């Protein structure tokens, strides 16, 4: 397995670097345009969450991004050094959004919901800061691709 790593300050102005590097890695692995766009949205959401929660008390937040390349999948890990967040089911949107009005939506939790809708696997570890692992298989069943 090959691993590519980025270490960036926890600031929105650095997100374009993450998206561009993701595009390069995913293109090299042979992902479709649609899968790449889905991954860019999901990884951007994970990075946005890290930016919001990455800063420890001293304000020196950073984000570590790793792209783990294998023959059948790309695993993107987004890790911050902040205090973590509560990933309880009560704080996450778990019901379908179809037919809901904006006033019926809960505050927060939509980023994880979106990541889960766009990726094949999403894992969240809040042991030391927060690490979100996003997995997309090269021949994703979500898009009807067959061999």
pLDDT in tens, 15-70: 999 999 999 999 999 999 999 999 999 999 999 999 987 776 666 789 999 999 99
**What CATH number did the domain enclosing 74 receive?**
3.30.565.10
**Structural domains counted in the chain:** 1
Distance set, CA 56 to CA 29, 39, 52, 88, 97 (Å): 35, 27, 11, 21, 33
Tell me, yes or no, whether 107 lies in a domain.
Answer: no
Question: Tokens 């990455």 belong to which residue?
Answer: 54
For residue 76, what are the domain limits?
2-85+113-140
**Spatial distance between the Cα atoms of 78 and 39, rounded to a whole number of angstroms:** 13
Supply the pTM of this predicted model. Answer: 0.79
Asked if 21 contacts 48 with a C-beta cutoff of 8 angstroms, the reply is no
Q: Is 145 within the bounds of a domain? A: no
The pLDDT of residue 135 is 98
Q: Is residue 92 part of a domain?
A: no
Where do runs of H (alpha helix) occur along 5-141? 15-29, 33-53, 110-118
Check whether 102 has a pLDDT greater than 80.
no
């Amino acid at each position: 397995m090959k691993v590519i790593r980025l270490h960036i300050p926890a600031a929105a102005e650095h997100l374009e670097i993450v998206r561009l590097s993701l595009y390069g890695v995913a293109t090299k692995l042979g992902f479709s345009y649609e899968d790449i766009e889905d991954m860019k949205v999901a990884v951007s959401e994970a990075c946005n969450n890290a930016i919001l929660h990455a800063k420890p008390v001293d304000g020196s937040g950073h984000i570590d991004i790793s792209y783990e390349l294998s023959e059948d999948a790309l695993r993107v890990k987004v890790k911050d050094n902040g205090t973590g967040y509560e990933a309880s089911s009560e704080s996450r949107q778990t019901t379908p959004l179809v037919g809901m009005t904006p006033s019926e939506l809960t505050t927060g939790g939509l980023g994880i919901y979106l990541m889960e809708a766009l990726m094949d696997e999403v894992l969240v570890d809040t042991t030391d800061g927060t690490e979100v692992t996003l997995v997309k298989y090269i021949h994703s069943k979500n898009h009807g691709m067959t061999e």
